[in-house]
Chains A and B, each alone.
Chain A
Amino acid sequence: MNSGQPTELTAVTFNQILAYVNDVEKSGGAFQKSLRIHFLRNFTIEPIAPYLKYYCYQAGIQPILSYSDYGNLRHALLDPESAIVTSSPDIIILSQYFDSCDLEAQTQDDTPGLVALALEKTSATILVNTQIPDLWPHLVETGPESGGRPRFFEDVNRSVRSICAAHPARVILMDWERYIQRVGAQDALDSRYWYLNKAPLKKTFLSHYAIDIARVAKVLVGQVKKCLILDCDNTLWGGIVGEDGVSGIKLDKNEYPGKIFYDFHQIIIGLAHRGVMICLCSKNNEADIFEVLDQHTDCLIKRTHLSGFQINWEDKASNIRLLAERLNIGLDSMVFVDDSGIECDWVAKALPEVTVVQVPKDLSQLPALILKGQFFDTLTLSAEDKTRTLGYQQEQRRQNTAQQFADVEEYLASLALEVDIHECLPTEIARVAQLTQKTNQFNLRGRRYSEGDITRFVESDQHKVMVLWVKDRFGEYGLTGAAILAHTPEGVEMDTLLMSCRILSRRVEFAFLTQCIDLAHRSWAVPTVAVPFVPTAKNAQVKQFLDAVGCVFEDREGVAWGLITGLPNTPKIQFIQFKEMGR
């Protein structure tokens, strides 16, 4: 099957990893993105480099690694000459290993102070690790007073977890305590390297650590899946509903294998609540499938969880393409699950961008399957994610309504569109950062930002961050557009302009651009705003939009350097009401 199939860690050896990394580096591989990653550490973490490169290269990301001195980590953050300040890393990995024999060091843990400094001095996403619980043989426990060593590690870990919880999306947990549970003490620590080189971590442990770092990197560069497409028979339940009937299929939570499918449903619903779109794609009679969803008592997936479905006898690749069009998302943000090898193969060949996952032969592996693939990672969970499914259902109703109107103006007026455009508030920073990471289609330059970056822009008087809220009579879309204006010595430039595809084709984009340009005029008294368009594989519609508003382009090293003088041309937008939202 294709690359979407999750690979077991043990399947790849250190020598294979080295060979792969060498090959990529020798061929001078073309990377989609590069990220600066800095290790702020108190031990020899360099042996992680081959693993981290391996998992990043596989995702088309080039990690540019740097390391602090071992000594005073505070100093590294405070010294204006240090690498951490001058290289402005995208990710800072606070990597600390506490020596379980050094009792003196165990009286203090400076992690909260270091994280606070890193938050203040940099705009990087910060990764912090828990400590491995003390693995030395213990003396017989005689009560709380005997437990100095284990207590210290427990306290540190509790503190690390609460720091991460206090700064969601900015400070991310690297849970060493969980790695040790997965790999076991034998494969975690190497005392030889610890005493020879101050390098305590073994290769299996390092590869878990590297995988987690690479997952964060993927989210930061915008490599996230958005949609899970599921076959039904023998994927969502055992048996064939068309033949076995609703009562004959295997989905009973108290039986084998029904419980396996029931658990699979739980995981899918968990993803739906995290903003993943769930779709069905099945060769069946639509009525049979919905009979299961509506009537089977152990069928947790209901109509309300679905963002779309194609239940018919057409080929699945065409159906998936239709779903992508209707949801307005790229094929590369879709994951397809089916039990049939033939269907999987067909979709993988016809739509290589789609990640295809086959239901495992060993059925008990099914519930964990999607989580193992780590397709749907996200750093922020916004209110918009939680209501997205609702949004797509509203979109379906809206499309149905559109067909009733002959005239587009009449249709748009009937939508009762309301927008709110204002400068980004502190509570909106996380959502704006998330939009820069996830928006691929209507995105001027595809620049990805962390929360720290957006905070910096909001605080700078040389930048303006604008947000767009949209609502119509079918429902609320929430914060679905953002723009960043930058005042530079050359003039005013649109650093970022993006909108969720869900709100396009209602002329809201024209209203938003007009307000942004107007703000630029008022803030910096310039007649012209530069709107540089950087083409990507997916953002052609932005260019069409800029042509429509009368943007004049000149070519500057591959960038279509657009200039808008005065206010942009817009079609009629009188039907849009400006109302306060989200504040």
Chain B
Amino acid sequence: MTTEIEVDARIKQVVSNVFAVDVATVTEDASPDTVGNWDSLGHMNLVVALEEEFHIQFSDEQMMEMLNLPLVVCVVKEQLAAR
């Protein structure tokens, strides 16, 4: 079983990978305003990468909800718990 902290770290790693930024610069409250490449296309890549990393699938509604990193973390954990 993965711990909460591990999940947080893996999400950050994915965000850094998708948007091509150093993982150290991904803050707790990262969002499209603070991460350069986080636009609607980047968001699609983020969803694909998260689904692959955690072997989960989001609903359309969840995809729309993931507006910033805290919300991403929240939705990923929601899906992990639902498995």
Residues of the B chain whose Cβ atoms lie less than 8 Å from the Cβ of A26: 20
CA distance A22 to B17 in the complex (A): 8
Q: Are B45 and A192 in contact (CB-based, < 8 A)? A: no
Q: Are B14 and A15 in contact (CB-based, < 8 A)? A: yes
B44 to chain A, nearest CB (A): 6
B62 to chain A, nearest CB (A): 10
Total residue contacts A-B, CB cutoff 8 A:
41
Question: B41 on the interface (CB 8 Å rule)?
Answer: yes
Question: B18 on the interface (CB 8 Å rule)?
Answer: yes
Question: A1 on the interface (CB 8 Å rule)?
Answer: no
Residues of the A chain whose Cβ atoms lie less than 8 Å from the Cβ of B53: 15
Known A46-B41, A195-B60, A196-B64; judge A203-B48 contact (CB<8 A): yes
Residues of the B chain whose Cβ atoms lie less than 8 Å from the Cβ of A193: 44
Residues of the A chain whose Cβ atoms lie less than 8 Å from the Cβ of B58: 192
Residues of the A chain whose Cβ atoms lie less than 8 Å from the Cβ of B14: 15
Question: A14 on the interface (CB 8 Å rule)?
Answer: yes
CA distance A197 to B39 in the complex (A): 12
Contact code string A203-227 (vs B, CB < 8 Å = 1, else 0): 1000000000000000000000000
Q: Are A18 and B41 in contact (CB-based, < 8 A)? A: no
Q: Are B49 and A18 in contact (CB-based, < 8 A)? A: yes
Q: In the complex, which of the residues A14, A25, A26, A199 has the most CB atoms of chain B within 10 Å of its own CB atom?
A: A14
CA distance A358 to B15 in the complex (A): 39
Question: B52 on the interface (CB 8 Å rule)?
Answer: yes
Quick one: closest B residue to A47, CB to CB? B44
Q: Are A18 and B17 in contact (CB-based, < 8 A)? A: yes
Residues of the B chain whose Cβ atoms lie less than 8 Å from the Cβ of A13: 52
Question: A19 on the interface (CB 8 Å rule)?
Answer: yes
CA distance A22 to B40 in the complex (A): 19
Q: Are A22 and B20 in contact (CB-based, < 8 A)? A: yes
A194 to chain B, nearest CB (A): 10
Quick one: closest B residue to A199, CB to CB? B44
Q: Which of A14, A47, A203 contacts B41 (CB 8 A)?
A: A47
Residues of the B chain whose Cβ atoms lie less than 8 Å from the Cβ of A15: 14, 17, 49, 52-53
Quick one: closest B residue to A26, CB to CB? B20
Question: A89 on the interface (CB 8 Å rule)?
Answer: no
Total interface residues on A, using CB and 8 Å? 19
Contact code string B40-56 (vs A, CB < 8 Å = 1, else 0): 11001100110011000
Question: A50 on the interface (CB 8 Å rule)?
Answer: yes
Total interface residues on B, using CB and 8 Å? 17
Q: Which of B40, B52, B60, B63 contacts A14 (CB 8 A)?
A: B52
Q: Are B60 and A192 in contact (CB-based, < 8 A)? A: yes
Contact code string A28-71 (vs B, CB < 8 Å = 1, else 0): 00000000000000001011001000000000000000000000
Residues of the A chain whose Cβ atoms lie less than 8 Å from the Cβ of B44: 47, 193, 197, 199
Q: Are B45 and A47 in contact (CB-based, < 8 A)? A: yes
Q: Which of A14, A22, A196 contacts B48 (CB 8 A)?
A: A14
Q: Are B60 and A18 in contact (CB-based, < 8 A)? A: no
Q: Are A25 and B41 in contact (CB-based, < 8 A)? A: no
CA distance A44 to B58 in the complex (A): 20
CA distance A15 to B41 in the complex (A): 16
Residues of the B chain whose Cβ atoms lie less than 8 Å from the Cβ of A44: 41
Q: Are A18 and B45 in contact (CB-based, < 8 A)? A: yes
Residues of the B chain whose Cβ atoms lie less than 8 Å from the Cβ of A14: 45, 48-49, 52
Residues of the A chain whose Cβ atoms lie less than 8 Å from the Cβ of B60: 192, 195-196
CA distance A22 to B45 in the complex (A): 14
Quick one: closest A residue to B16, CB to CB? A22
B20 to chain A, nearest CB (A): 5
A186 to chain B, nearest CB (A): 11
Residues of the B chain whose Cβ atoms lie less than 8 Å from the Cβ of A22: 17, 20
A216 to chain B, nearest CB (A): 24
Contact code string B47-83 (vs A, CB < 8 Å = 1, else 0): 0110011000011100110000000000000000000
A185 to chain B, nearest CB (A): 16
CA distance A13 to B45 in the complex (A): 13
A65 to chain B, nearest CB (A): 12
A575 to chain B, nearest CB (A): 63
Quick one: closest A residue to B40, CB to CB? A197
Known A15-B14, A197-B40, A199-B44; judge A25-B20 contact (CB<8 A): yes
CA distance A490 to B17 in the complex (A): 49
Quick one: closest A residue to B14, CB to CB? A15
Listed in ascending order, the chain B residues whose CB lies under 8 Å from chain A are 14, 17-18, 20, 40-41, 44-45, 48-49, 52-53, 58-60, 63-64
Minimum-distance CB pairs A-B, first 6: A192-B60, A22-B20, A18-B17, A46-B41, A14-B52, A15-B49
Q: List 27 A-B contacts (CB under 8 A).
A: A13-B52, A14-B48, A14-B49, A14-B52, A15-B17, A15-B49, A15-B52, A15-B53, A18-B17, A18-B18, A18-B20, A18-B45, A18-B49, A22-B17, A22-B20, A26-B20, A47-B41, A47-B48, A50-B45, A192-B59, A195-B60, A196-B60, A196-B64, A197-B40, A197-B44, A203-B48, A203-B52
15 new A-B contacts at CB < 8 Å, known A14-B48, A47-B44: A14-B49, A14-B52, A15-B17, A15-B53, A18-B17, A18-B20, A18-B45, A18-B49, A26-B20, A50-B45, A192-B58, A193-B44, A196-B64, A199-B44, A203-B52
